[in-house]
């Protein structure tokens, strides 16, 4: 039985420390041992040992690596290599020295500046459009859709550059393999209604998730925060229009509010059809509300990181730090016509943890908290009075 451990060799890499574990793989920070590698530090994603004998899982892993290696854009995390070491399947990807946008809200102490957020999301949209535009070697459009965009999967580095993470959930529309037959994978709160209900995914699906994430970053409130429990959240996402961002933060510029409203329209036909269109609207907004420079954003990232490391209350409230996020599988079993829930949804309690977002700096990783919410109070031992 293999044993991965810090400071041991794994192929052409030395493992430094374990970053986390997801549903398919274990994730490590590592150093390349071969000379001439394009990055001094990398992230190594190693498939769980018990899955290596599962042919379909291995095929999914290969498909993820194959697609990710072809995504070459400055706003997408790079995948360098995929292969096998002994019986272990692995892939290596770029290490990003930065912070995810959910943690940025916590470190900033509230929602980000509108122009800064618009600039970050315009860059993210550019990266997504590059993924949506990816073609096969024969020149056919692959119709790749990320399907799991959220503030956890958007990171900004010390140079002020945004990266889209975790294309492990992404699938090409014409692929032979899917995550699970007749199921959806992703974070429900940011999921487009048509994807949640009918499993229809397109570039507009990612536009919705990007708009819902922008809503959170500029208001400081998660989408559909009023929903109580899993079933209530599913119904809200499927049936309700996301409220106007100005209802939560009245000082927001109306043009930005309108862009978010447009991107998160319940009807995909009423949304921007491409991430490029979303980016274009944000760039137009930024001509009137100039954003900070990348250098200024990078300076702010350094401040945020320091706050997250030094201040324990912030660390406790920051949640997953973009590492492990709950992802639900929702079966497509139809419900009766007279049910109060949306047709096509069955609410179950089974949850899986998605792959780790593996780009935290060491000091953030050491201080990160793996659970959400407040820690439980220690229970005091009951005092028993002996009978006389």
**Cα–Cα distance, 374 to 368 (Å, whole number):** 14
β partners of residue 94:
42
Question: Per the structure block, which two tokens stand in for 73?
Answer: 């854009």
**Cα–Cα distance, 360 to 358 (Å, whole number):** 6
Neighbours of 384 (CB within 10 A): 6
Its sign, for the CA torsion 357, 256, 220, 110, is positive
**Cα–Cα distance, 126 to 280 (Å, whole number):** 9
**Cα–Cα distance, 323 to 152 (Å, whole number):** 8
β partners of residue 329:
185
Is there a catalytic annotation at residue 174? Answer: no
Q: What share of the chain is helix, strand, coil (3-state, %, to 5)?
A: 35, 20, 45
User: Helix 275-288 and helix 254-263: axis angle, to 10°?
Assistant: 180
Q: Which of 148, 152, 157, 166 is catalytic?
A: 148
Residues 132 and 206: beta-carbon distance below 8 Å: yes
β partners of residue 98:
157, 360
Helix (H), strand (E) at residue 80: strand 79-85
Nearest to 127 by CA among 165, 168, 169, 175: 165
Separation in Å, CA 343 to CA 189, 239, 241: 18, 11, 18
Active site amino acids: 148
């Amino acid at each position: 039985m293999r044993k991965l451990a810090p400071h041991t060799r794994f192929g052409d890499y030395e493992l430094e420390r374990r970053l986390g574990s997801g549903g398919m793989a274990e994730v490590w920070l590592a150093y390349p041992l071969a000379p001439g590698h394009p990055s001094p530090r990398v992230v190594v994603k190693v498939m769980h040992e018990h899955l290596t004998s599962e042919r379909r899982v291995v095929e999914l892993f290969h498909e993820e690596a194959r697609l990710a290696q072809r995504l070459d854009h400055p706003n997408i995390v790079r995948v360098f290599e995929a292969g096998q070491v002994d019986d272990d399947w692995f892939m290596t990807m770029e290490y990003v020295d930065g912070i995810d946008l959910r943690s940025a809200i916590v470190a900033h102490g509230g929602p980000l500046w509108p122009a800064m957020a618009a600039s970050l999301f315009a860059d993210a949209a550019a990266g997504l459009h590059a993924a949506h535009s990816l073609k096969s070697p024969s020149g056919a459009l692959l119709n790749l859709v990320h399907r799991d965009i959220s503030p956890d999967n958007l990171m900004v580095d010390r140079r002020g550059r945004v990266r889209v993470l975790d294309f492990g959930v992404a699938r090409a529309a014409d692929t032979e393999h899917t995550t699970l037959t007749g199921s959806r994978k992703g974070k429900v709160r940011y999921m487009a209604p048509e994807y949640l209900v009918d499993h229809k995914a397109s570039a507009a699906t990612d536009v919705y998730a990007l708009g819902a994430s922008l809503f959170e970053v500029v208001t400081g409130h998660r989408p559909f925060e009023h929903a109580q429990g899993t079933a209530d959240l599913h119904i809200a996402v499927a049936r309700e229009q996301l409220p106007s961002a100005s209802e939560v933060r009245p000082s927001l510029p109306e043009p930005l509010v309108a862009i978010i409203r447009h991107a998160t329209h319940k009807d995909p036909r009423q949304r921007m059809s491409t991430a490029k269109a979303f980016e274009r609207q944000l760039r137009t907004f930024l001509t009137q509300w100039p954003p900070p420079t990348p250098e200024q954003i990078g300076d702010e990232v350094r401040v945020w990181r320091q706050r997250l490391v030094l201040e324990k209350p912030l660390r406790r409230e920051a949640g997953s730090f973009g590492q492990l996020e709950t992802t639900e599988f929702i079966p497509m079993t139809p419900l009766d016509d007279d049910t109060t829930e949306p047709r096509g949804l069955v609410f179950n309690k089974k949850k899986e943890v998605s792959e780790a977002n593996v780009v935290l700096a060491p000091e953030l990783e050491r201080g990160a908290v793996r659970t959400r919410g407040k820690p439980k109070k220690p229970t005091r031992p009951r005092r028993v009075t002996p009978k006389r």
